[in-house]
Structure 1
Amino acid sequence: MHKSNLGQANRSSYGLEVDKSDAEKIRKILVNENLLDESLRILKLGQSIVFPVKNIDRVKSLTTNLKFFRIEIFNFPIKQRRPRTLKEALAEILENSKLSLLPSSYDVVGDIAIIQLRPEIESISKDIAVGIMRINPSIKVVLGEKGKISGTYRLPQLVHLAGEERTRTIHKENSCIFELDVSRVYFSPRLSNERRRIYEQVDSDEVVIDMFAGVGPFSIEIAHHRGAKVKAIEINPVAYEFLKHNIQLNRVDRLVEPILGDAASVVLKFKSYADRIIMNYPVGSLDYLEHAVEALKPCGTIHIYGFSESVNQWLRAVSTRLNQLGVDD
């Protein structure tokens, strides 16, 4: 093995040179017979193609009907295998004690990756970002998120780590498209399966209220897949503009009505209106439960999300709040 002047690693190996007109036919045969050396790159020489091959005797038996072929030693570029994990990507850069700190997961929104910036990885965060881009070439931006999402608008604190200097992207989920700015709106790709679980429960004749719609994932996916009508409420003006845009983008403007405002006051207009209400506001959903109950039809369904140490603890918290409101749970 040696390197060319351009730094490309090469290896000498047997190659089968054929005319371009026969190349595709021969390639398929070599692949089917497991005779193509997949560790080396195919060469192009003028009007000829050279395939790196294994088992020369078997290769020779395939050349009887070729108008031109040549088998000899060629110098092939070695394929650079893309690392499959962060640990593989950074093994030559970081010491073992640092490799053990690498995150096991990160969020991907469109072509933007977002990692949680825990204190112990801040010093290697840019290395991690480069590693993420190596194992996933479709990622064009890597951001770090500091602290917890907080505030009325649920905005993250983001810092740029690698790639293009932008925070706007287009995210595809459950056959829908969402344009958004990850620094100015709340969006969690981790809820993709949950959103599918919810819309699969919705009937086409239902009326739904999405009290904290964000850029529209729950609302738009329900409308797109089930044909139900949705009132999508959002308090963040920036998210509301993306919500309106995404409704048009997904062609559900006949079904989804975007409403700018605080859900607590907006739902007062919809007393006993909805068959189903979605409350994806984990930090404060219990505070809005009273308003959701007022807007719900008898025998309707509320999907309420919150943070808790356990499912049972959360169920008890919701049950307690419903009892305070005089509602049987």
Structure 2
Amino acid sequence: MDKITLYFREGSSDKVYTASIDPRDGGFVVSFAYGRRGTTLTTGTKTPSPVEYQVAKGIYDKLVKEKTAKGYTPGEDGTRYQHTDKAPQATRIQCQLLNTIEETRIQELITHPDWWLQEKLDGRRLLIRRDGSTVTGINRLGLEIALPQSLVESALACTANFIIDGEGLGNTLHVFDVLNLHGEDLRGLCYAERFVRLGKLLKASDAPHFRLVDTALHLSDKRALFEQLQSEHREGVVFKHMMAHYTAGRPASGGMQLKHKFCETASFIVTKPNSKRSVSLILFDEDRVVPAGNVTIPPNHEIPVPGTVVECRYLYAFRESGSIYQPVYLGPREDIRAEECTTAQLKYKAEVVQPAA
């Protein structure tokens, strides 16, 4: 019978996932198990009752495809995308992802001297590696991607080899971190040291399309920047602890680099085009697919085809229908996987509590 064991290693994560097609009661079931390598695995099934083999095979193949798209690999060392069709694009460089904090923690972090404040930019996560005359773009999945020529030229104009991290907006990279400089791995250094070295690199280089992200260190500056970004309806802010290391992946909770959004954004899957340049959106709610409303596509964007993952800004979602209110289309997201498009992203409209009679 069909059976596969997949591995995933990133930072402190070392996970295993197994899937198999097993005969049962005259039919077949698709079973799976997952967990940290070397521990007792959590088990389950994708088929509550036996089905025909071809149906089970389709479910099994889809499951394996989803896991390998996330970076799981048949290779026991757990290297992302190894032995998959994405292996030629895999760079083994993973970006650090941040957890979200609620508004209740904002003042605590603003007033704490060890936490720095930056704008959370509304672009695409992008790392750039320069090695001599070779310049490589890397997306949030760790895969090699094409770069605008302006960014290639700016990278070559810098005074050293490097791996830098930032947010791409048009032809500009807004840079906020450096992972490697002059061949030295800096990820184990504190953020304050990395930021100083990054600033010196950009100051010494003629790289017009690289811009250092504005950073507020002191209480009055942090308050001023926070109020400015909020009044201008920017996407949000990022708090970074000055002693934070650069750790690939997203912490299970908390962390020393955190984000807070003023405007809500989420990733959705397009299901069908509607009239007047509108498309329908869906999300996953565990094993269910649920509608998430519609969004109008601006004239300067192509209408996305069904199955495309897109990013939308919205005010809130209605809990009853799941539809998003006042959606604004931001564009396609090739670096977001379909299985990441879940209802867990949504912020729902606050419920109004009626006064007692």
- Interval of TM-score (by shorter of Structure 1 and Structure 2): under 0.3
Considering fraction of residues, name the structure with more strand: 2
Q: Which structure is richer in relative contact order (CA contacts within 8 A, separation 6 or more)?
A: 2
Taking structure 1 as the reference length, the TM-score comes to 0.24
With structure 2 as the length reference, what TM-score do the two structures score?
0.22
